[in-house]
Amino acid sequence: MQWLWTQKQDIGPAPRVNHAMAYDGVRKLVVLFGGETSDAGYNDTWEWDGEVWTQVADTGPTPRRAHAITFDSVRQRVVLFGGFSNIFLNDTWEWDGEAWTQVADTGPTPRGAHAITFDSVRQRVVLFGGLSADIDPLNDTWEWDGAVWTHVADNGPSPRMEHAMTFDSVRQRVVLFGGHTITGGLAFFNDTCEWDGEVWTQVADFGPSPRSGYPAMAQMGTRTALFGGYDGIRYLTDTWEWKDLRWTQRQDMGPPARVGHRMAYDGQRERAVLFGGAASGLFGDTWELAINQPPAEPV
């Protein structure tokens, strides 16, 4: 297998960090919402079709950062929860491709720097952790069924923020990696945990180095890809594969090292799409990651 990063363009959304991205599998578009610069927050909505970014809305949720979105493939909606906009938020919104609609203002406590993903087998949005309004890392697990949030666990991975999460459709588990805590001092994690709908199980504590800053993670067919992040000293630029309960480093060539970026998998085009982030400055570049089969050996 050849893992190949390709830079597409640097025209589209303004450079930003701590935005959110998800792939709309019905409309076949990557959706981006919000984020921030050094002095402003955004509430614009953009879509990527594989060639160009198009701004499709500038109304809906308030400007915010450190929020999270995922695509509910059953109800065919992008679901957004929380984030930070001068205050910590706990509102839930849905994007149907034309407009944002607020669908709840109860459920998980206000927070930012959490992670959500959609469990397509159990048909639930799963949320874990984040940073509370009291500036405490959290380790509660919630599920959204399209109507109400349900608190389903308050144990499992240790309290953390800025971790990565995706759904492994092969093993039918939510996969969580990394993040950091500020309780008792700054500490970074490199544990890998799975949620089966009932309990969290730690399945690895090796592979990528401990990191936070939203290392971008996306399920790519039968594999999960992870890129970048921050380990407390350096911004990272490595690409890793999670498959069969094993991490494998694939390459260290691709986008420049960064933190606060986002990635979503375009299932139609079989590409992971990465946008934005920050290192010494803000990025507004778009990259795609493809996994190519090697050419067949001549007979």
- Cα–Cα dist 180/246, whole Å: 22
Identify whether the C-beta of residue 195 lies closer than 8 Å to the C-beta of residue 156: yes
At 39, the pLDDT band (50, 70, 90 cuts) reads confident
Stretch 212-217: mean pLDDT = 94
pLDDT tens per residue, range 144-196: 999 999 999 999 999 999 999 999 999 999 999 999 999 999 999 999 999 99
Residue 297 has pLDDT above 90, yes or no: no
- Would you kindly state where each structural domain of the chain is located, as residue ranges? 2-292
* Cα 208 to Cα 190, 230, 251, 288, distances in angstroms: 7, 11, 12, 21
- Cα–Cα dist 125/166, whole Å: 11
- Cα–Cα dist 140/159, whole Å: 8
**Per the structure block, which two tokens stand in for 12?**
């589209």
**Per the structure block, which two tokens stand in for 150?**
């349900």
- Cα–Cα dist 135/209, whole Å: 25
At 9, the pLDDT band (50, 70, 90 cuts) reads confident
Identify whether the C-beta of residue 92 lies closer than 8 Å to the C-beta of residue 149: yes
Residue 299 has pLDDT above 70, yes or no: no
Closest CA to 174 of 210, 124, 212: 124
What is the fold of 2-292? Neuraminidase (2.120.10)
Residue 294 has pLDDT above 80, yes or no: no
**Per the structure block, which two tokens stand in for 256?**
């420049």
Kindly report the number of other CB atoms within 10 A of residue 277's CB atom: 31
